[in-house]
Amino acid sequence: MTKPPKNIAILGATGSIGRSSLEVIRSSAGRFIPTYLTTNRNTELLARQVDEFHPKGVVVLDNARAKGFHSSHSKRVEVHTGPEGLLEVVSRDDVDVVINALVGFAGLKPTVQAIKHGKSVALANKETLVVAGEIITALVKEQKTSLIPIDSEHSAILQCMLGEERKNISRIILTASGGPFLNYPLEDFPNITVEQALSHPTWKMGKKITIDSATLMNKGLEVIEAYWLFHLDPGNIEVVIHPQSIIHSMVEFVDGSVKAQLGLPDMKVPIQYALTYPSRQALNGVRVDFPKLQQMTFFKPDREKFRCLQLAYDALELGGTAPALLNAANEIAVEAFLNKKIAFQQIPELIQRAITEQRVQKMPSLDDIMEADRSARDFVRKLI
Ligand code: NDP
Beta strands in the chain (DSSP E): 6-11, 32-39, 57-60, 78-81, 97-100, 120-123, 147-149, 169-176, 237-241, 247-253, 258-262
Q: Cα-flanking dihedrals φ and ψ of residue 306, to 5°?
A: -110, 80
CA 149–ligand 1 middle distance (angstroms): 15
- For residue 351, what pLDDT is reported? 98
CA 253–ligand 1 middle distance (angstroms): 34
When pLDDT is averaged across residues 74-89 and rounded to a whole number, the result is 97
Average pLDDT for the chain:
97
CA distance 362 to 211: 29
CA distance 322 to 355: 6
- Nearest ligand 1 atom to the CA of 210 is 26
CA 102–ligand 1 middle distance (angstroms): 4
Determine how β-strand 169-176 pairs with β-strand 247-253: antiparallel
CA 333–ligand 1 middle distance (angstroms): 17
Residue located nearest, by CA, to atom 32 of ligand 1: 125
CA distance 75 to 70: 8
Determine how β-strand 97-100 pairs with β-strand 6-11: parallel
When pLDDT is averaged across residues 303-331 and rounded to a whole number, the result is 97
- For residue 204, what pLDDT is reported? 83
Residue located nearest, by CA, to atom 16 of ligand 1: 40
DSSP string covering 116-173: HTT-EEEE--THHHHHHHHHHHHHHHHHT--EEE-SHHHHHHHHHHTTS-GGGEEEEE
CA 311–ligand 1 middle distance (angstroms): 23
Residue 117 pLDDT > 70, yes or no?
yes
* Among 10, 11, 17, 331, residue to substitute to test ligand 1 (most atoms within 8 Å of Cβ): 17
Q: Which residue has the higher pLDDT, 3 or 133?
A: 133
What is the CATH T-level fold of the domain 154-383, as seen in this structure?
Rna Polymerase Sigma Factor; Chain: A (1.10.1740)
Q: Is the pTM of this model over 0.85?
A: yes
Within the chain, all domains assigned CATH 3.40.50.720 are found at: 6-149
CA 28–ligand 1 middle distance (angstroms): 23
Residue located nearest, by CA, to atom 22 of ligand 1: 40
Residue located nearest, by CA, to atom 9 of ligand 1: 12
Residues with CB under 6 A from ligand 1: 12-18, 39-42, 61, 101-103, 106, 124-127, 151, 203, 205-206, 209, 267
- For residue 366, what pLDDT is reported? 98
- Nearest ligand 1 atom to the CA of 45 is 46
When pLDDT is averaged across residues 145-149 and rounded to a whole number, the result is 98
Which of 169-173, 199-203, 291-295 is predicted with the least confidence, judged by mean pLDDT? 199-203
Beta-bridged to residue 97, according to DSSP, are 8, 120
End-to-end CA distance of the chain: 60
CA 16–ligand 1 middle distance (angstroms): 7
By C-alpha distance, which of 287, 384, 286, 285 is closest to 331?
A: 384
CA distance 96 to 5: 9
Residue located nearest, by CA, to atom 43 of ligand 1: 151
- Nearest ligand 1 atom to the CA of 209 is 34
- Nearest ligand 1 atom to the CA of 102 is 7
CA 18–ligand 1 middle distance (angstroms): 8
Of the pLDDT bands very low, low, confident and very high (cuts 50, 70, 90), residue 171 is very high
Within the chain, all domains assigned CATH 1.10.1740.10 are found at: 154-383
Q: Are 9 and 92 in contact (CB under 8 A)?
A: yes
CA distance 381 to 384: 5
Residue 1 pLDDT > 80, yes or no?
no
CA 26–ligand 1 middle distance (angstroms): 20
CA distance 347 to 23: 34
pLDDT tens-digit map of 198-210: 998 887 899 999 9
Q: How many CB atoms lie under 10 A from the CB of residue 292? A: 6
Alpha-carbon distances, residue 383 vs 129, 286, 357 (angstroms): 27, 46, 12
When pLDDT is averaged across residues 211-234 and rounded to a whole number, the result is 98
- Nearest ligand 1 atom to the CA of 86 is 20
Alpha-carbon distances, residue 29 vs 1, 34, 279, 384 (angstroms): 16, 13, 17, 50
CA 12–ligand 1 middle distance (angstroms): 6
CATH number of 6-149: 3.40.50.720
When pLDDT is averaged across residues 177-198 and rounded to a whole number, the result is 95
Q: Are 152 and 248 in contact (CB under 8 A)?
A: yes
